[in-house]
Amino acid sequence: MQLFSRHIRPEEAERDADELDAFSQAVVKAVERVINSVGSVEAQTASGQTVGKGSGFVVAQGLVLTNSHVVRGAVQLQVSFADGRKFPAQLVGEDEDTDLALLRIPADDVPPAPLGDSQKLRVGQLVIAIGNPYGFQCTVTTGVISALGRSLQTPLRRRLDDVIQTDAALNPGSSGGPLVNTRGEVMGVNTALVVPAQGICFAIPINTAKFVIARLLKEGHIRRSYLGIGGQNVSLHQRLAALLKLPTDRGVLVISVDAESPAAKAGVQGGDIVVALGDHPTPDMETLNRFLAELPPGTETRLTLVRHLEKLTVPITLAEPPDKSA
């Protein structure tokens, strides 16, 4: 049997090489824009025993963002950068519900990483992860956005919704590092990987992180109200939204309802689509969670839902989140 192969002309090979080189240069430039902002975070007890290692990156002058699980239980914190400098760090605050923590270091000359808009992410988009897996400083991996709007559990068994899934390789020590687009803008905070699966990793959207940073700077913590649903973002047909006079043509599809939660007591069901909390449209899980963080537990309000192509409004009383750390 004779095998045939298409002859590649020299000009085609050169064009392909140029395209690959342009792709490589885009990655290189994106990394160069961010990498000096990325550090290694080490958490220690009072006796100097290491209880956590991970990554972090500067988001503003003297402020480093990392994962809450990296610094949990620490009495002493240290952030090291690729140029050899090491700084003691103080915990500004942490938010266990998003697995984010904000640190302050005595350094005003470490450049902050440019922060992007995670709402602009698209499935299939190229992304770059930077971190310190196993202590290897400023390791770079690439991949794509595999999915958006995923849900997973934090180390404290709290549900984290609206999470980015990527196949950019993450390993122990990558937690807290930035997930970057080809413009060198941070689009997410690397937080978890599925073991033993390969290529299933997760990041917290940077828009969620921006909200958390602002609240931690202001109050040092975030006291959220609890609704008790798991959901994912969906789009509604514009004609349906107009017919039902909905406040938005997007919403949060209810995937699960926690037993004895405010949502369960209000009669929320799997398959419902949440389009408003009180007077506030909720086009996505990020927006819904932001409003829950602004309303104190005990607030009596209402949910606007779409169920079986009909608009439904139900009263609901928000509650304290259940203690899942016990």
Where does residue 197 rank: exposed (0-12), middle (13-18), buried (19+ CB within 10 A)? Answer: exposed
Q: Which of 37, 40, 55, 69 is flagged as catalytic? A: 69
Q: Say if residue 139 is in the same domain as residue 277.
A: no
Q: Which two tokens stand for residue 218?
A: 């202001």
Q: Say if residue 123 is in the same domain as residue 207.
A: yes
Q: Which of 118, 175, 225, 261 is flagged as catalytic? A: 175
Domain CATH for 124: 2.40.10.120
The predicted pLDDT at position 6 comes to: 59
What is the tens place of the pLDDT at every residue in 138-164? 999 999 999 998 888 766 666 787 899
Domain CATH for 277: 2.30.42.10
Contacts of 137 (CB under 8 A, 6+ apart): 40, 80, 82
CA atoms within 13 A on the CB side of 154: 20
Mean pLDDT of 123-130: 96
Q: Say if residue 42 is in the same domain as residue 80.
A: yes
Q: Say if residue 148 is in the same domain as residue 270.
A: no
Q: Say if residue 131 is in the same domain as residue 266.
A: no
Weakest-pLDDT range from 35-39, 57-61, 104-108, 134-138: 134-138
Q: Say if residue 146 is in the same domain as residue 22.
A: yes
Q: Say if residue 243 is in the same domain as residue 151.
A: no
> Of the residues 200, 222, 244, which one is the last residue of a structural domain?
222
225 is catalytic: no
Residue 322 falls inside a structural domain = no
Domain holding 245, by residue range, is: 229-317
Residue 319, phi then psi, degrees to nearest 5: -135, 175
Q: Say if residue 39 is in the same domain as residue 143.
A: yes
Q: Model confidence at 310, in pLDDT bands (50, 70, 90)?
A: very high
68 is catalytic: no
What is the tens place of the pLDDT at every residue in 72-94? 888 999 999 999 999 999 999 99
Residue 105 falls inside a structural domain = yes
Q: Model confidence at 280, in pLDDT bands (50, 70, 90)?
A: very high
> Of the residues 187, 222, 257, which one is the last residue of a structural domain?
222
How many independent structural domains does the chain possess? 2
Q: Say if residue 172 is in the same domain as residue 24.
A: yes
175 is catalytic: yes
Q: For residue 326, is pLDDT > 50?
A: no
Weakest-pLDDT range from 103-112, 178-187, 193-202: 193-202
Q: Say if residue 59 is in the same domain as residue 103.
A: yes
Q: Which of 99, 162, 272, 284 is flagged as catalytic? A: 99
Residue 21, phi then psi, degrees to nearest 5: -65, -40
Q: Which two tokens stand for residue 237?
A: 């047909």
